[in-house]
Amino acid sequence: MEQDKEKRLRVLSQCVAEWQNLLKLNEWNIVVSIGTRETMGKKNGNISYDRENGQALLTIVDPKEAIIYPFGYIEEATIVAQLLNLRYEAVNDDSNVYLARANKIMANLLVELKYNSDAYHRILQEMEGVEEPEPERPPVKKTPRVINA
């Protein structure tokens, strides 16, 4: 059992290293751990950090205890969401709920794009019914007319 946990940590650490590089977080020393539902509450992942020392602890819930959302539970997406939280400091601050939520959505899209090059086109198709706001137009400069009498 302990051997399985060590193997799992190794796989998670490799995944973190890959996304850490892609998200330009190489200056951070990120340690990965596996948490339990009891210690993590309703979260599938959590990241805490010490910016001054460049240290972070990324905890992923044991997959057997993960909360399954409508889009499913994708461990890699949880890792990416936590790294985005670190990058944009959407952790340990309830005022950043919307940023954290946006990071989860972006993480799912990034992971899907990584594994499915057709995903971009599918996402565009799904968005076809969504109206885009009109771009702002600069004010028209009115030049006075000179009337020759």
Domain boundaries, the chain: 2-119
d(CA 32, CA 93): 21
Tell me yes or no: is domain 2-119 CATH 3.40.50: no
Mean pLDDT check: name the lowest of 24-28, 73-77, 80-84. Answer: 73-77
d(CA 74, CA 68): 9
Query: Who wins on pLDDT, 24 or 68?
Result: 24
**Among 8-12, 41-45, 86-90, 99-103, which range has the highest average pLDDT?**
8-12
- Check residue 29 and give its pLDDT: 96
Does the pLDDT at position 149 exceed 50? no
- Check residue 7 and give its pLDDT: 86
Return phi, psi of residue 67, to 5°: -85, 125
Does the pLDDT at position 31 exceed 90? yes
What mean pLDDT do residues 65-78 have?
A: 69
Q: What is the pTM of this model?
A: 0.67
Token pair of 82 as six digits: 């936590």
Percent of the chain with pLDDT over 90: 16
Q: Give kind and range of the element (H or E) at residue 115.
A: helix 97-115
What mean pLDDT do residues 112-124 have?
A: 66
